[in-house]
Amino acid sequence: MHGTHPEPSLHGVLAEFRTPDELLAAIEAAKSAGYTKLDAYTPYPIEKVLDALDLHHSKVPLLTLGAAIFGAVAVFSFAYWASAIDYPLNIGGRPLNSWPAFIPATFEGAVFHGGLAAALGMLVLNGLPRPHHPVFEVKRFVEHASKDGYFLLVEADDPRFDVSAVRRLLEGLAPVEVNDLEN
Amino acid sequence: MSTAYDDVRGADPIAQPPVLAPGHTPASVTERISEAVTTKLTKTPKWWLGGFAVGFALLNVFLFAVTNLFMTGIGVWGNNIPVGWGWDIICFVWWIGIGHAGTLISAILLLLRQSWRNSINRFAEAMTVFAVACAGMYPILHLGRPWLPHWLLPLPGTLGMWPNFRSPLIWDVFAVSTYATISIVFWYVGMLPDLATLRDHAKAKFARFAYGMAALGWRNSARHWANYEVASLLLAGLSTPLVLSVHSIVSFDFSVGIVPGWHTTVFPPYFVAGAVFAGFAMVLTLVLPLRPLFKLHDFITERHLQNMAKVMLTTGLIVAYGYVLEIWAAFYSGNEFEIFMVLNRFTGPYATQYWLLILLNIAIPQLLWLKGVRSNVWALWAISMCINVGMWLERFVIIVVSLHRDYVPSNWAMYSGTKFDVMTFVGTMGLFLTLLLLFIRFLPALNMFEMRVLTPEATKAHGEEK
C-alpha cells in the first residue's frame, strides 16, 4: 500500500466550497469517483452531509445504555448491601430490603453514569482531545471552518488515493481553494 | 437572504415573528455573537464593570457571613426548634428551582424541536449551573460541621456505617450532585463547537491558546458532528427525567415527613411546576436587561419573550392548582391538624406572607393573558420580579408556617431570619452575579452553531423549514 503513496507523510487533500449545496455535490462526485475515506467540515451539523457520508452509526447510544445500566445496578446493589447486609438498621419494623426506597438513588446513578458516558464517549469516539490536526495548517480553514466555509477532505489512506487525481477532481468542482495536508 | 423568510411567512398567514431577524448569514451570526467575547479587556463595557463590582462586593458579603458562621456556629442564623429549617432551606429550594428552567429550555425544548430555544439555551444552562452552585452552598453551610460534607456520601470510613438509603435526605444528595454534574457536562459539551469558534476568531494570542485548550481540538468535522448530535440528544433525554426527579426528590424532603402541610402527594408535580415557573421568571429577569445591553434584538426576538411569558403563565396556573389542592386536601382529610395548618396560613401570624404570595404568584401573573403585557418588556420584567419574590415566599410559607405551629401548642414559637441569614442569601446572589458576568464576558453566552442553523442558508441546506 505504502508503495503507491507518492508522499508517505500526506494526510489528504482538502477543498473548500462556498455553500452546503456545493459541498454535497462535491461529496457525490468524490463518491462516484470511488473514494471512500472522506470527511467534511461544516460550521454546523448538516443532516444531508451526514447522510451522504453514511455517518449515522454512532456508538454513543450503546455506550450510554451500558453505562446507565451499570450505574443503576451498582447503586441498587450497594444500597441493598449497605442497608440489608453490612449495616442492617431496623427502622419502624420495615423490611431491611425496602427496595422502593432505593429507587431514587438508583435512578440518579443511572443518569449520572449514562450522562458521563454520553459526553466522554462522544469525545473518545471523536479522537478528542487532540489539540492539533493537519487541517489547522490551512489558513482559510482556521478562518472559515467555524463560520461560513464548507470543506471536503479526501484522506491519503483511501485505497484509491492519488494526489494528482484527487486534486484534478476537486479543482474541477469550482472550489475556493484546494490544499494538500501534510501530517 | 431575506427572501427565504418572506417565503416562509407568505406561505403561512398566521406565522409568528421569526426566531432570528431576517438578513443573517452563518458568518454574521458568528461575528455578532463572538464580538461580545473577543473585544479587548480594556474595551470591556462600563455596565459590565459596574455589574461586576456589585456582584463581587456581594460575594465578599458572602465571605463575611460564611466566615462568621464557621467561627461561631449555626446559632448565628434564626433556625431553632421548632423551626429547624429556615432561610437556609428556603433559599436552597429557591435556587435549585431557578436552575430548572435552564434544563427545561436546553433539554426538553430540544427534544420537542423548539428551535426558538437556540438563542437562549446556553444562557439558561449557565444560569442552571450557577444557581445549583448557590443552592449547593446551603446544605453544606447548614451541616454545622461544614468540613465534613463527605459524610453525606456513602464512603467507607472510620465511622463504620453507611448513609440511610431510605431517607429523602440521602436521595437529595444523589439527586443534587447528579444534577450539578450532568448540568456542567451538558453545558460544556454544548459549548465545545463554540469554544472552537472562539479559538479560531479570538485576536489575543493567550485567548486563542486558552479557548483552543478548552475546545479540545474540535474541528467541525462531519464525523464529530455525527457523534456529537447523538450525544446531545442523549444528554437531553437523560436530563429531562433528571430535572423532574431532582425537584420531586427535593419535595420528598418535605412530603415524606409528617409535618402538617407537608405530607401530601401533590408535592412532587407542584414543586416541579413551581421550579419551572420560577426559573423562567429568572431567565426573563436576566435576559431582558442583557438584550439591549448587548443589542441582541435580532437573536432574542419578540417571539422568545412571548413564548417565555406563555410558559410562565401555564406553569403559574399549575402552581395555582397546587395551592388550591393543598387547601382542598386539608379539608377533605378531616384531619384537624391539616385543617388548622390551612386556617393558620390564611389568618395566622404569617398571613401577610401567605396573601402576598397569592398576589405575586397567582394574581399578578394573570396579566400575562394580555398580549400587550407579554410584548411590553417593562411589564414582563416587573412580573418576573414579582414571581421571583413570590416563589421565595412560597417556600417560606411551606417551611416556616408548617413548622412554627405543629402538633403540640407548647412547642409553638415564632421564627425570623437574622441579619446573617440575609447576608448569606444576598451573598449567594453575589456569587451568582459574579459567575454570570464572568460567563457572559469570557464565554459564548449565545449558542453560535445552533444560531447558524437558524439562518436561511442553513435551513435551505436541511431541506426543511422549522
Q: Is the pLDDT of residue A57 over 70?
A: yes
Task: Give a yes or no: residue B5 inside a domain.
Answer: no
A51 min Cα distance to partner chain B (Å): 10
We report the CATH number of the domain holding residue B295 as 1.20.1630.10
| pLDDT at residue B94 in the model | 93
Domain boundaries, chain A: 9-56+133-182, 60-125
Q: Which residue has the cell 415566599?
A: B393
In a domain, B303, yes or no: yes
pLDDT tens for each residue of B326-344: 999 999 999 999 999 999 9
**CB < 8 Å to A98, chain B:** 166
Work out the angle at residue B388's Cα, subtended by the Cα atoms of residues B385 and B394, and round it to the nearest 5 degrees.
140
Give SS3 for B110: helix
Does residue A154 or residue A66 have the better pLDDT?
A66
Domain coverage including residue B330: 44-148+163-462
- Provide, as residue numbers in chain A, all residues whose Cβ is less than 8 Å from the Cβ of B187: none
Kindly report the pTM of this predicted structure: 0.88
Q: H/E element holding B19?
A: none
CB B227 within 8 A of CB A119: no
DSSP letters spanning B216-260: TT---BHHHHHHHHHHHHHHHHHHHHHHHHHHHHHHHHHHTS-ST
- The confidence band for B10, taking pLDDT boundaries of 50, 70 and 90, is very low
Residue A152, sorted as left (phi over 0), alpha (psi -120 to 50) or beta, turns out to be beta
Q: In this structure, is residue B24 part of a structural domain?
A: no
Tell me, yes or no, whether B36 lies in a domain: no
Angle (nearest 5°) at CA B450 between B445 and B455:
115
What Rg do the C-alpha atoms of chain B give, in angstroms?
23
* Whether the Cβ atoms of residue A178 and residue A167 lie closer than 8 Å to each other: yes
State how many domains chain B has.
1
B78, B418 contact by CB (below 8 A) = yes
Q: How far apart are CA B59 and CA B47, in angstroms?
A: 18
Residue to mutate among A49, A146, A150, A155, with most B CBs inside 10 A, is A146
Q: How confident is the model at residue A154 (pLDDT cuts 50, 70, 90)?
A: confident
Q: What's the complex ipTM?
A: 0.89
Q: Which of B6-20, B44-58, B226-240, B448-462 has the lowest mean pLDDT?
A: B6-20
pLDDT digits 0-9 by tens, B252-269: 999 998 888 898 888 999
What pLDDT, on the 0 to 100 scale, is given for residue B49? 92
B461 touches chain A (CB under 8 A): yes
Residue B34 lies in a domain: no
Distance from CA of B60 to the nearest CA of A (A): 33
Determine, yes or no, domain membership for B128: yes
CATH fold group of domain A9-56+133-182: Alpha-Beta Plaits (3.30.70)
Is residue A142 a contact partner of residue A136, using CB atoms and an 8 Å limit?
A: yes
Contact residues, chain A, for B252 at CB < 8 Å: 104
Task: Tell me which residues of chain A, numbers 104 to 163, contact chain B at a CB-CB cutoff of 8 Å.
Answer: 104-105, 107-109, 111-112, 114-116, 118-119, 121-123, 125-126, 128-133, 135-136, 142-143, 145-148
Does residue B101 lie within any of the structural domains?
Answer: yes
User: Could you give the 3-state DSSP secondary structure of residue A33?
Assistant: coil
C-beta atoms of A111 and B452 within 8 A: no
Average confidence (pLDDT) over B353-376:
94
Chain A residues with CB-CB distance to B225 below 8 A: 42, 45-46, 50, 55
How many helices and strands (H and E) does chain A possess?
A: 6, 4
Nearest CA in chain B to A63: B231
Q: DSSP states of B396-439 as a string?
A: HIIIIIHHHT-S-GGG-------HHHHHHHHHHHHHHHHHHHHH
Q: Give how far Cα B269 sits from Cα of B141, B264, B361, Å.
A: 28, 11, 17
Domain contains B223 = yes
